[in-house]
Amino acid sequence: MMIPSQARTISTSKCLSQKLSNLSKTWNGSENPSLAAIHYSPISKTIAVPVEGRHTAMIDKSKYTSDKHGSIFVSKYLRSQIRYQGNRTRTHCRSSSILQLRLEQVTIYGHTDKEPESILRHKRSYCTSHIEVDDKLVQTDEIKKFLKQNTIAVDEGYTCFVMTCPKFTTKRLKTKEIDKLFINMKTGYFVCQSCHQSGTWCQLKTNINLLQNQAKFKRKMDCLTFQSEVEERDTSRLTEIWQGATEVSQSDPEKLQLLLHNLNILKLKLPVLQNYKVRMTQEEDGLVFPCFNTEGTLLSVRVMRYVVNASGQPKITERTFPRVPTGGLFGLQTLRHDASEVILTSSELETMAAFQETRVPAVSLTKNLSSLPQHVLPLLEQFKKITLWFGNDLQSWETAKRFAKKLNSRRCYIIRPTEDNPSPLESMRVGLPLPTIYRNSKPLMHKSITSFSYLRQEVFNEMLHAEEASGIKWNRYPELNKLLKGHRRGELTVFTGPTGSGKTTFISDYSLDLALQGVSTLWGSFEINNLKLMKVILNQLSGFNMTKNLEKFEEAADMFETIPMHFMTFHGEESITRVIETMSHAVYIHDIAHVIIDNLQFMMGSTTGTSMDKFQKQDQIISACRKFATNMNCHITLVIHPRKESDHELLTTASIFGSAKASQEADNIMILQDTRMSSARGKKFIQVTKNRFDGELGTMVLHFDKESQSFSRKFRQKREEELKKKDEQRKKAEEQIAVPNENHDQTEIKNETEVTEKSED
């Protein structure tokens, strides 16, 4: 749990038992609590107590009694109200008057009718940039075992377990759609359609246990009241846009037809636009595409406008409100409960084109193809056939295969990427028969069996689109494209360089370039904390030193929020097991395509064994990363410190710390060379010493720009152009000042000459 920065520390000299007792007494002295969870933070040395997910109290660790193991002593007042949850156990602690427990996760039950003075209200800001270290995948057998032990009837779906809401019954499964609760088979994440709540597997287990315990004592208790996953956010702009927009049926027909012509969607029919509740903007220059949840509540809108820029060039712009949508599906309100097949497309226009021509229900993601969130999976659980129709480019093909794996490939069909099978919108524009293309969709074959006839078209497509198949190109480092050809999934890149040479600075810019192009990125920075890393990335994103340009912070921060970049909360030494577990969770939840680990030495720990033990441990870590990159089809960039060598010698592949395992397993090896110490004209440059894709090796000179903290040449050139422009303006100003002075001097000389001539006369 992240402790809010605005929460203050409760200052008191009493022991923790008295503080907890006093805190509980402020809850109207009640012994019947609602759920609150106490979390201990060893870094800030505080305990955070969130109540109803919206209030937080902090207690200083130095003010309570603890032993050397970090255990605490809790008074008898709370002994029957405390539940301790360890890694695999949960027990009620009632036996002793003085209870000793380790603070991994402690839960207190209490309830209140008003806010205690010591508990502070704070507004939670929406953030998807942190991967919590406690989030992990759950074993399917663990979920089944728990539900069976509690005699809960459950159906096994394609991606979720389906049960009824716990407040109704645990004996039988209801068939009403509104009563269903979905549990993700991989993570345990649940979505309850009755309570309109969602949360983690741990929270659901706690809730079921609470309900059953209350049932034993014949007490009534509301379901899922202890937490809320709904983020508080400003929806005023969303409401303003939607209420200001006009339904297409009430719009001016001539203006609507002109707008459809400008957007190149003239073939879309009015009934289809009405079916998907599309509206025209208040300015009548664009369309508004809404996204609703299952209850019909508006979640987000995407606004597509046709504008003409200052140079007279027409342009189509798209904006989403809020900037980071809450998820959901466009077209969800059009789906019937008895529908068994659906088409999943990449955008709103593609969805309407597919539905209009095939008459098959069609939906699209609110985040386009950047990720398939886990809370969307229950919305697609009812369908026996899902056709993924994204387009005929290779990137769309890779995305379709990745989504099919997440949706359960047994029910997924894919439109193969060929010239004859473009996206639905393009097919409609050129007059291709969409029903025929839809009927020709193919199921995915068994993952362990294939043949050339099955892959023949893919082989041809890779040869036909060789440039695209080589990977995503860097915009900031075009020279790197000539060497590595692009960034590809499933590869392992090893990056090394001297200490203090700028490895983290370069890799952050290198990854930001890809993230700006839609590559979902996960950062694991063990050496520097996330706050410092984000400051560097923000400077690189804006191209300015934000400390000197604070007026531009909001604009840059808004842009940063929309980038698919996430950060692990690890810092310092951490085990490879936990890191791999967190990476697996992130790949499943956020569809991560690029993972950066900075650096490997922090996962090796401070082992006091022999050098052979260290080498063996490093080999195990590298093998785990190699296996993860291959199995998860994810690119891993692994930063490794080099051996201690002379500052006057260039590093080589053999300079990588450890055995030869790193260089053998790596697909690419990049070395940041720094020759400034050995030569007055020395430079920094990237040297590619291994390239398994096509064998191209070479160097790329780096040009560091201090203001933006970027090695990209474009910022350096931009800065030089600005300085050159300022010099020209300064020279021009000096010349303008010099000309009047020269004229003034000539006038004075002329006057003196005339006076002299008159005196001579």
Same domain membership, residue 680 and residue 569 = yes
Cα separation, 162 vs 193, whole angstroms = 11
Task: Quickly count: other Cβ atoms within 10 Å of residue 538's Cβ.
Answer: 18
Same domain membership, residue 682 and residue 553 = yes
- Low-confidence stretches of the chain (pLDDT beneath 70): 1-136, 169-178, 215-234, 324-327, 445-451, 453-455, 457, 605-612, 738-761
State percent of the chain over pLDDT 90: 34
Same domain membership, residue 679 and residue 618 = yes
**Strand arrangement, sheet containing 180-184:** 155-156, 160-164, 180-184, 190-192, 197-199
Residue in 270, 289, 429 with CA at minimum distance from that of residue 365? 289
- Chosen domain end from 423, 447, 469: 469
642: three-class secondary structure by DSSP = strand
- The owner of tokens 């064994």 is 609
- Chosen domain end from 414, 439, 469: 469
409-439 pLDDT, tens digit each: 889 999 887 788 899 999 999 999 999 999 9
Residue in 595, 654, 597 with CA at minimum distance from that of residue 630? 595
718-752 pLDDT, tens digit each: 777 777 777 777 777 777 776 665 555 566 666 66
Residue 6 phi/psi, 5-degree rounding, is -85, 0
Same domain membership, residue 201 and residue 106 = no
Residue in 362, 421, 378 with CA at minimum distance from that of residue 397? 421
Same domain membership, residue 555 and residue 423 = no
pLDDT at 247: 93
pTM, two decimals, is: 0.67
CATH assignment of the domain containing 388 = 3.40.1360.10
Helix axes 553-562, 530-542, angle to 10 degrees: 110
- Whether residue 228 lies inside any domain: the answer is no
- Chosen domain end from 150, 184, 216: 216
33-51 pLDDT, tens digit each: 333 344 444 444 344 443 3
Cα separation, 361 vs 457, whole angstroms = 28
Cα separation, 418 vs 685, whole angstroms = 41
431: three-class secondary structure by DSSP = coil
- Whether residue 737 lies inside any domain: the answer is yes
- Whether residue 1 lies inside any domain: the answer is no
Contacts 24+ apart (CB under 8 A), 67-70: 69/102, 70/40, 70/42, 70/102, 70/103
- Whether residue 368 lies inside any domain: the answer is yes
Strand partners, 685: 673, 701
Cα separation, 330 vs 302, whole angstroms = 10
Cα separation, 429 vs 418, whole angstroms = 17
pLDDT at 311: 81
Task: Give the distance from CA 316 to its chain's centroid.
Answer: 26
- Whether residue 223 lies inside any domain: the answer is no
Same domain membership, residue 450 and residue 357 = yes
Same domain membership, residue 638 and residue 529 = yes
pLDDT at 644: 77
Same domain membership, residue 550 and residue 678 = yes
- Whether residue 598 lies inside any domain: the answer is yes
Domain that holds residue 34: 9-121
- Whether residue 226 lies inside any domain: the answer is no
Contacts 24+ apart (CB under 8 A), 625-632: 625/492, 625/597, 625/665, 626/492, 626/665, 628/580, 628/583, 628/584, 629/490, 629/491, 629/492, 630/490, 632/583, 632/584, 632/587
Same domain membership, residue 592 and residue 693 = yes
CATH assignment of the domain containing 574 = 3.40.50.300
Structure tokens belonging to residue 4: 């809010």
- Whether residue 222 lies inside any domain: the answer is no
Same domain membership, residue 482 and residue 403 = no
pLDDT at 370: 76
Cα separation, 430 vs 437, whole angstroms = 13
Same domain membership, residue 240 and residue 152 = no
356: three-class secondary structure by DSSP = helix
Same domain membership, residue 626 and residue 502 = yes
Domain count across the chain:
6
